[in-house]
Chains A and B, each alone.
Chain A
Amino acid sequence: GDSVTQMEGPVTLSEEAFLTINCTYTATGYPSLFWYVQYPGEGLQLLLKATKADDKGSNKGFEATYRKETTSFHLEKGSVQVSDSAVYFCALSDRYGGSQGNLIFGKGTKLSVKP
Chain B
Amino acid sequence: DAGITQSPRHKVTETGTPVTLRCHQTENHRYMYWYRQDPGHGLRLIHYSYGVKDTDKGEVSDGYSVSRSKTEDFLLTLESATSSQTSVYFCAISEGRGHQETQYFGPGTRLLVL
Partner-B contacts on A (CB < 8 A) = 30, 32, 34, 36, 42-46, 49, 51-52, 89, 93, 95-96, 101-103, 105-108
Tell me whether B48 and A89 are in contact (CB under 8 A): no
The complex places the Cα of A42 from the Cα of B101 at a distance, in Å, of 23
Pick from B58, B94, B100, B107: contact of A43, CB under 8 Å:
B107
Give chain B interface residues in 14-70, CB to chain A under 8 Å: 31, 33, 35, 40-45, 48, 58
Give chain A nearest CB distance to B45 CB in angstroms.
5
Tell me whether A102 and B33 are in contact (CB under 8 A): yes
Give chain A nearest CB distance to B41 CB in angstroms.
6
Tell me whether A105 and B42 are in contact (CB under 8 A): yes
Tell me whether A89 and B42 are in contact (CB under 8 A): yes
Tell me whether B42 and A51 are in contact (CB under 8 A): no
Tell me whether B40 and A107 are in contact (CB under 8 A): yes
Would you list the 4 A-B pairs with minimal beta carbon distance, nearest first? A105-B42, A51-B99, A44-B105, A107-B42
Contacts of B74 in A (CB 8 A): none
Give chain A nearest CB distance to B74 CB in angstroms.
14
Instruction: Write out, one digit per residue, whether chain B residues 71-109 have a CB within 8 A of any chain A CB (1) or not (0).
Output: 000000000000000000010101000111111111110
